Amino acid sequence: MTAVGLAAVLFTVTDGPYGEDVPATLGASGVPYFSQWESPELAAGFADGSLDLAADPRWAASGAQTPGEYGYWANKVCGLACLKMVLAHRGMPVPPTMTLVERALAWQAYVPQGERVAGLIYQPFADWVAAEYGITAEVAPQLALETVTAGASPRAPVIASVHPWIRWPDREPPDRGGHLVLVTGSGGGLLRLHNPSGIPPASQRDALIPVADFARFYAGRGMLIRG
């Protein structure tokens, strides 16, 4: 089966209708997965709104003081979930989500605006992770898809801006961007990614999606993780 034959299909490297056609380079990435929600197995309900975020039974693991605080932030921290994955893959300590939120606020990578939050703002984020973790995040406000496919790897992933509906690749998104995923490789017309708001089993960890379908959700911007 070719990538063209897999249009609007999203599956993992361990599940899916790909058989021998997926390149060996797109096996399991080895990058630990973190959801932006503390209970990733409940992602389907969080994603479609049928389950209240404050009802997450593991909300306290985020470091939030209350279920309400957790519910306020849980849909806003996809970029921090990507950072957790990068830290874990490098063998570095992974702080709780709210610890990262506090640092992101201090660096103005997030700017609260009433009930909304501006961010993740790329340049302050890059300054923060360089200063505190020694990680180079190259900000790319115009990031060609060809650059993503050519360069993404487990050691040098790409944090890419996509529409949240990428978890449902058969849908046509109303626009592009608004959500961040970690791209860790490509080959054979497919991209491999970890999606912080993905739904198990197909669209969370090491999800594979045809490049042509990824392009429908991709906003053409992101950050290249180096160093």
Instruction: Say what percent of the chain tops pLDDT 90.
Output: 84
User: What residues are paired with 155 via a beta bridge?
Assistant: none
Classify strands 218-226 and 136-140 as parallel, antiparallel or unpaired: antiparallel
Please determine, for residue 73, whether its predicted confidence score (pLDDT) is greater than 80: yes
More confident residue, 11 or 44: 44
* Comparison of pLDDT for 26 and 177, the residue scoring more: 177
Which residues make Cβ contacts (< 8 Å) with residue 149, sequence separation at least 6?
186, 191, 211
Look at residue 81 and tell me whether its pLDDT is greater than 60: yes
Confidence at residue 114, expressed as pLDDT on a 0 to 100 scale: 82
Residue 49 pLDDT greater than 90, yes or no: yes
**pLDDT for res 26:** 81
What pLDDT does residue 22 have? 56
Would you state the pLDDT for residue 76?
Answer: 96
- Please report, for the chain, the start and end positions of each structural domain, with discontinuous segments joined by +: 4-226
CATH of 4-226, one of 1.20.1070.10, 3.30.465.10, 2.40.128.630, 3.90.70.10: 3.90.70.10
pLDDT at residue 23 in the model: 64
Total-model pTM: 0.89
Tell me what pLDDT residue 15 has: 44
